[in-house]
Amino acid sequence: MPLLRDYIAEHERATNFGGEAVRAIDRGDLDRARHLLGEMATELASHWQGEETGLFRVMAGEEMFAQHIAPLVREHRELGELLATVDILEPEGQQAIRDAVFDLYEHISKEDGLFPASLTALGGDEWDAAMDAWHEAHPGRRMIQG
Ligand SMILES: [Fe+2]
Query: How many angstroms separate the alpha carbon of residue 7 from the centre of ligand 1?
Result: 6
Query: How many angstroms separate the alpha carbon of residue 56 from the centre of ligand 1?
Result: 9
In this predicted structure, the answer to whether residue 138 has a pLDDT above a threshold of 80 is yes
Put simply, whether the predicted model's pTM sits higher than 0.85 gets the answer: yes
Instruction: Give the long-range contacts of residues 136-140, CB within 8 A, separation 24 or more.
Output: 136/49, 136/50, 136/53, 137/46, 137/47, 137/49, 137/50, 137/53, 137/54, 138/46, 138/50
Query: How many angstroms separate the alpha carbon of residue 48 from the centre of ligand 1?
Result: 6
Query: How many angstroms separate the alpha carbon of residue 45 from the centre of ligand 1?
Result: 10
Nearest residue to 80 (alpha-carbon basis) of 12, 14, 8:
14
In this predicted structure, the answer to whether residue 61 has a pLDDT above a threshold of 80 is yes
